Amino acid sequence: MTAPLVLGIETSCDETGIGLVRGHQLLADSVASSVAEHARFGGVVPEVASRAHLEAMVPAVDRAFAIAGEKLAAVDAIAVTAGPGLTGALLVGVAAAKAYSVALGKPLYGVNHLAAHIAVDQLEHGPLPAPAIALLVSGGHSSLLLVHDVASNVVPLGATIDDAAGEAYDKVARLLGLPFPGGPPIDAAAGHGDRSAVAFPRAKYRDGTLDFSFAGLKTAVARWVEAREAAGDAVPLNDVAASFQEAVADVLTAKAVIACRRNGVTDLIIGGGVAANSRLRALAAERCAAAGIRLRVPRPGLCTDNGAMVAALGAELVARDVAPSSLDLPADSALPVTDVVVR
């Protein structure tokens, strides 16, 4: 029997993502990014993101179906990110998903953005191990989660208490004169730098919690750069980028391994936009190998926000015969990860 075809819609931030998934098979992943429109502001502007989603939605959907060689009428269910994220941006996606649901007469699933980042790994590496620890790292989130079941039982273990890792990347890139978003240019510069050149702080590194803090690191980089400039010395951009990146990757991977050990879990999944970072992936692989932990990280294109991850979680829910959401489904910017599906 052919698995149901699920349409996934993602609009939590600045990417309009449309995915088509059948079972664990990815048929199309169409993404329209508005990052260029935000670059001159040095960060995402919610109103600009919302307007961009409105303009991109239908073309992105049409492109996904053209890639997959499928017709809209073939869809069996629609999944949409209901939260967390930017309220206005979420509303565009939720409204579109409701319209497709009503027009097609198909069930609607409002899903959690963080759980979707976990579920997308199934498209590349097959069924998820249970239990598993998930490290989700992006511009808005730095979280450690205990995943008993991605469709129903996700337990938060730790999270950022201030800036998320991706947010710190953007702010450090700005002070170094690098373009937005900051992740790729810092990663590129770090490849030519010395990771041990500057001993930047590792906040909450050994505090006994599984929480993160990157605001102090960002400030430390700023103060170091300001001191060099005040002394009339050149700022070694590549070394600063490499040292900053090492501090971030060090804390993230160390706490992820601790989370696995504390919970007796031997599988770690890393997701979110920062999971595309080369140093984070390399250090995680090194530390997991040393600790006897199996590491799963999707390819970089599936780490950033995309519709494929939403469709992947939707496909899992459909396969489990989970009851769909109602048509008065709200967009919840602060949706807790414990709510995998919004009723």
pLDDT tens by residue, 236-259 = 999 999 999 999 999 999 999 999
pLDDT tens by residue, 122-166 = 999 999 999 999 999 998 889 999 999 999 999 999 999 999 999
**Among 45-49, 53-57, 61-65, 314-318, whose mean pLDDT is lowest?**
45-49
* Contact (Cβ atoms closer than 8 angstroms) between residue 5 and residue 23: no
The amino acid that residue 246 corresponds to is E
- CATH number for the domain spanning 98: value is 3.30.420.40
Q: Are residues 296 and 310 in the same domain?
A: no
Domain residues for 318?
5-120+306-342
pLDDT score at 73: 97
pLDDT tens by residue, 59-71 = 999 999 999 999 9
Mean pLDDT of 58-85: 98
* Contact (Cβ atoms closer than 8 angstroms) between residue 267 and residue 133: yes
Distance CA(313)–CA(117), nearest Å, equals 9
pLDDT tens by residue, 296-305 = 999 999 999 9
Q: Are residues 43 and 189 in the same domain?
A: no
pLDDT score at 42: 79
Q: Are residues 108 and 241 in the same domain?
A: no
Residue 79 confidence (pLDDT) above 90: yes
Mean pLDDT of 190-205: 97
Give the percent of the chain with pLDDT over 90.
94
Q: Are residues 222 and 312 in the same domain?
A: no
Q: Are residues 310 and 296 in the same domain?
A: no
Q: Are residues 81 and 169 in the same domain?
A: no
Residue 1 confidence (pLDDT) above 80: no
pLDDT tens by residue, 283-318 = 999 999 999 999 999 999 999 999 999 999 999 999
Q: What angle do CA 305, 203, 114 make, to 5 degrees?
A: 20
pLDDT score at 5: 98
Q: Are residues 269 and 187 in the same domain?
A: yes
Distance CA(328)–CA(195), nearest Å, equals 50
Residue 57 confidence (pLDDT) above 80: yes
* Contact (Cβ atoms closer than 8 angstroms) between residue 81 and residue 12: yes
Mean pLDDT of 177-196: 96
Mean pLDDT of 105-130: 97
Q: Are residues 275 and 314 in the same domain?
A: no
- Calculate the alpha carbon distances from 229 to 18, 171, 193, 239 in Å: 45, 18, 19, 15
Residues 6+ apart with CB under 8 A from 197: 236, 239, 240, 242, 243
Q: Are residues 240 and 328 in the same domain?
A: no
pTM score of the predicted model: 0.95
Q: Give the pLDDT band (50/70/90) at residue 272.
A: very high
SS3 for 117-178 is HHHCCHHHHCCCCCCEEEEEECCCCEEEEEEEECCCEEEEEEEECCCCHHHHHHHHHHHCCC
Q: Are residues 91 and 222 in the same domain?
A: no
pLDDT score at 34: 86
Distance CA(129)–CA(120), nearest Å, equals 13
Give the percent of the chain with pLDDT over 70.
100
Residue 184 confidence (pLDDT) above 90: yes
Q: Are residues 84 and 199 in the same domain?
A: no
Number of domains in the chain: 2
Distance CA(315)–CA(304), nearest Å, equals 19
pLDDT tens by residue, 7-42 = 999 999 999 999 999 999 999 999 998 888 887 787
Q: Are residues 310 and 278 in the same domain?
A: no
Instruction: Provide the mean pLDDT of the chain.
Output: 96
